[in-house]
């Protein structure tokens, strides 16, 4: 194997042989200043103005000519900076250097250019290629052609990056500790109010914001509301299958301001409905990471049900489906996974609307719309009416909700106490009135626990559909969108190809998903 050829850096030209000739060059020496400030929330530009002033004072000692001052304010230069942090004036400075229109680069501190060794190396190489050999850092002149000067600058660059890394490590450690302890973010979420120690400023508690506000409607009527109540309302309306636009329009019509004091938007209500903060959890990178040191506005069951409704709706990118055919964009093609959509037929094709795959070129799944709607709805209602479905839902949810086991233990204890009371009554060891009162209390306790299990096990949107009267409850749902969402949650049907057999029964062509599939082995 041959040896790899080494590439030697070709230095640019500079009219100044060394530092002495540079300092004596007077007005013929051209310099530029670069300054940067990492944080300036008040936009006072104090830091960068100071950098520009001090750099000018240093250069004026030698009567050099200023070719430009390039300042970037409130922008980080570490390798942890946001991708959005674009330093426009830094890029302009690089263009000036590349055009060889300058002799000296002036900075208050080397870290003003960057806290990343990779960027430092790129800047140094660009300067050497274009003859900008002299850097003035805090009044000291460095020559990039001199080994000792390059070593000194490199040490400063290493120190700048190390300092940045150290700050990042300490900050990350503090954030991790904050997450594990369940302490909240610095921003107070809408629906809560926060109290801090008056002396130290440390977090003490975060409670529901029950402050009463008055919204004046356009017709002059007044409505009293609380931020806590608005958050609860958003979750409950999503659980009841209300559309995002419907919630937003209603809140704006009622003249209730958003958390930012402006009009509500779909993004705002979705952000609230998907934030684990309202379940009493500390978020990290958008996900629940630990139990928060505050009480949730909604319980985990309601939060989980809302996620199943809101997130798929937020990701939906297809066009709006037709209003007449219920299974349009509520079922999938089993071959390619695309949505089924309604496709009107001409009179030559019997004139009946059919469902077909929405993906161009597939054409595997096709069925008469009316027949498919009737079949899916009858299967859905029959499944919801089965007596074992409720217990299967309880078994399924028990794995993720420890509260169900607690409620079941309460029922078992109450049942045992009922039997013991009966035995005591028969033995004459318990007064009749006491026995009656105790039975009422225990039965009420059992009923409350059973209702709690039902709320925990069954998604709120179908809680009234589980049971022998499922068909009547289903017919009572007037909104087509609500029916579609329930179908997608419960059975999520997929249609197989008929394989050129028009007589193939639908039962052999439909594959059910959703809760039907999840509870199959429960």
Whether the predicted pLDDT of 184 surpasses 80: no
Neighbour tally for 229: CB within 10 Å:
18
pLDDT for the residue 321:
41
pLDDT for the residue 84:
53
pTM of the model: 0.47
Domains in the chain: boundaries: 19-166, 192-315, 332-385+472-518, 389-466
pLDDT for the residue 317:
44
pLDDT band of residue 235 (cuts 50, 70, 90) is: very high
Whether the predicted pLDDT of 80 surpasses 60: yes
Q: Can you read off the two tokens belonging to residue 11?
A: 């230095």
pLDDT for the residue 319:
43
pLDDT for the residue 318:
42
pLDDT for the residue 56:
93
Over range 176-201, report the average pLDDT. 79
Laid out side by side, the sheet with 510-511 consists of 332-333, 494-495, 510-511
Instruction: Find, among 346, 380, 243, 232, the residue nearest to 299 by Cα.
Output: 232
* Rounded percentage of the chain residues whose pLDDT exceeds 70: 86
pLDDT band of residue 286 (cuts 50, 70, 90) is: low
Mean pLDDT, the chain, integer: 84
Which CATH superfamily is 19-166 part of? Answer: Resolvase, N-terminal catalytic domain (3.40.50.1390)
pLDDT for the residue 190:
95
192-315 belongs to which CATH class?
alpha beta
Query: Which residue has 């409130």 as its token pair?
Result: 74
pLDDT for the residue 43:
55
494 Cβ contact list (under 8 Å, min separation 6): 331, 332, 333, 334, 510, 511, 512, 513
pLDDT for the residue 496:
92
Q: Can you read off the two tokens belonging to residue 400?
A: 């993720």
> Range with the lowest mean pLDDT among 172-181, 238-247, 339-348?
172-181
Whether the predicted pLDDT of 174 surpasses 80: no
Over range 8-28, report the average pLDDT. 88
| pLDDT tens string 371-415 | 999 999 999 999 999 988 888 888 887 877 778 888 889 999 999
pLDDT for the residue 521:
63
């Amino acid at each position: 194997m041959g040896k790899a050829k080494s590439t030697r850096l070709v230095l640019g030209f500079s009219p100044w042989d060394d530092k002495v000739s540079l300092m004596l060059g007077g007005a013929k020496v051209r310099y530029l200043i670069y300054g940067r400030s990492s944080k300036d929330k008040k936009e006072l530009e104090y830091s960068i103005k100071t950098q520009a002033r001090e750099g000018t004072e240093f250069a004026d000692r030698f009567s050099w000519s200023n070719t430009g001052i390039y300042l970037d304010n409130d922008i980080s230069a570490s390798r942890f900076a946001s991708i959005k942090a674009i330093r426009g004036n830094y890029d302009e400075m690089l263009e000036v250097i590349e055009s060889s229109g300058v002799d000296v680069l002036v900075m208050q501190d080397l870290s003003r250019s960057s806290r990343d060794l990779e960027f430092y190396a790129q800047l140094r190489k660009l300067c050497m290629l274009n003859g900008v050999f002299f850097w003035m850092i805090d009044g000291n002149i460095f020559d990039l052609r001199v080994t000792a000067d390059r070593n000194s600058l490199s040490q400063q660059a290493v120190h700048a990056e190390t300092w940045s890394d150290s700050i990042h490590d300490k900050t990350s450690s503090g954030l991790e500790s904050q997450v594990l302890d369940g302490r909240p973010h610095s921003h107070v979420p809408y629906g809560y109010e926060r109290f801090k120690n008056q002396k130290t400023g440390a977090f003490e508690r975060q409670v529901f914001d029950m402050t009463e506000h008055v919204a004046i409607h356009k017709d002059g009527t007044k409505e009293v509301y609380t931020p806590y109540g608005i958050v609860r309302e958003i979750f409950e309306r999503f659980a009841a299958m209300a559309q995002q636009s419907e919630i937003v329009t209603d809140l704006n019509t009622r003249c209730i301001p958003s958390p930012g004091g402006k009009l509500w938007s779909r993004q705002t209500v979705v952000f609230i409905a998907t934030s684990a903060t309202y379940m009493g959890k500390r978020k990290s990178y958008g996900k629940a990471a630990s139990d928060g040191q505050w009480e949730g506005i909604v319980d985990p069951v309601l939060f989980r049900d809302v996620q199943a409704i809101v997130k798929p709706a937020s990701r939906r990118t297809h066009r709006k489906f037709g209003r007449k055919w219920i299974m349009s964009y509520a079922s999938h093609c089993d071959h390619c996974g695309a949505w089924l959509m309604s496709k009107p037929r001409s009179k030559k094709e019997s004139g009946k609307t059919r469902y077909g795959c929405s993906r161009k070129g597939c054409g595997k799944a096709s069925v008469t719309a009316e027949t498919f709607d009737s079949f899916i709805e009858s299967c859905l209602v029959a499944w919801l009416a089965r007596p074992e479905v409720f217990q299967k839902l309880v078994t399924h949810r028990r794995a993720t909700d420890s509260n169900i086991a607690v409620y079941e233990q309460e029922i078992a204890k109450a049942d045992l106490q009922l039997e013991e009371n009966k035995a005591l009554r028969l033995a004459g060891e318990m007064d009749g009135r006491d026995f009656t009162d105790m039975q009422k209390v225990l039965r009420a306790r059992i009923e409350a626990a059973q209702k709690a299990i039902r709320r925990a096990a069954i998604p709120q949107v179908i809680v009234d559909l589980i049971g022998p009267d499922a068909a009547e409850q289903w017919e009572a749902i007037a909104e087509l969108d609500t029916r579609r969402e329930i179908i997608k949650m419960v059975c999520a049907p997929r249609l197989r190809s008929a394989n050129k057999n028009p007589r193939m029964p639908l039962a052999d062509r439909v594959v059910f998903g959703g809760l039907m599939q999840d509870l199959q082995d429960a």
